[in-house]
C-alpha cells in the first residue's frame, strides 16, 4: 500500500509569485535545497543538492505556470526514489491556497514520518519567504 504526505498552506501572495517560489531554482534555494538547477517544463530535470551525499534529481511530470508543478523523483534515496511530489495552487481571496502532496512512499517507516514533519517545517519556510522575504539559512532548515 502506497503512503502519502499532504499539507495545505494559505500563502498571502498571488499564485504566480507562489509558483515562482516552488518552480524557480533562484527561489527554491531560499527555503529548501542548498543548490538547485532546473526549468519548469514537462520532462525537464531538476537537481536538488543538499550536500554531496544528498544530490538528488527529479523530473517535471506536469506543470502549468501559476497553477501547479509536479515532480517524479529519479535519483535520491531508496525511500524517495518511487515517490512523486507537487504543488497545486488555487487562487484565494487572501492570496493562494497551496495544496502540497508527496505520494507513493513504499512504507510508513521512520523516514516517511520524519519527511512529513520536515515538509511541514519547510512549507512554513516557503510561506515566510514568499510573504515576508525571510530566508532561513540552509544549515537551519529541517
Domains, the chain, ranges and CATH? 3-140 (3.30.530.20)
- The per-residue pLDDT for 118 is 95
**What are the CB-based long-range contacts (under 8 Å, 24+) for 14-18?**
14/91, 14/95, 14/96, 15/66, 15/67, 15/89, 15/90, 15/91, 15/96, 16/65, 16/66, 17/96, 17/130, 18/87, 18/89, 18/95, 18/96, 18/98, 18/130
Taking only the tens place, the pLDDT of each residue in 36-61 is 999 999 999 999 999 999 999 999 99
- The per-residue pLDDT for 101 is 98
Closest CA to 18 of 73, 92, 103: 92
Taking only the tens place, the pLDDT of each residue in 73-122 is 999 999 999 999 999 999 999 999 999 999 999 999 999 999 999 999 99
- Please state the pTM of the whole predicted model: 0.95
Beta-bridge partner residues of 32: none
Taking only the tens place, the pLDDT of each residue in 98-112 is 999 999 999 999 999
- The per-residue pLDDT for 141 is 83
Amino acid at each position: 500500500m502506497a503512503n502519502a504526505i499532504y499539507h495545505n498552506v494559505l500563502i498571502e501572495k498571488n499564485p504566480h509569485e507562489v509558483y515562482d517560489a516552488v518552480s524557480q531554482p533562484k527561489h527554491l534555494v531560499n527555503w529548501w535545497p542548498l543548490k538547485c538547477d532546473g526549468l519548469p517544463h514537462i520532462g525537464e530535470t531538476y537537481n536538488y543538492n543538499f550536500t554531496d551525499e544528498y544530490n538528488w534529481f527529479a523530473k517535471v511530470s506536469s506543470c502549468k505556470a501559476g497553477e501547479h508543478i509536479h515532480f517524479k523523483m529519479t535519483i535520491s534515496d531508496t525511500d524517495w526514489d518511487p515517490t512523486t511530489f507537487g504543488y497545486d495552487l488555487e487562487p484565494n481571496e487572501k492570496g493562494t491556497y497551496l495544496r502540497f502532496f508527496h505520494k507513493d512512499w513504499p512504507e510508513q517507516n521512520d523516514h516517511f514520518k520524519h519527511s512529513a514533519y520536515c515538509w511541514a517545517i519547510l512549507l512554513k519556510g516557503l510561506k515566510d519567504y514568499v510573504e515576508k522575504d525571510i530566508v532561513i539559512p540552509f544549515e537551519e532548515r529541517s
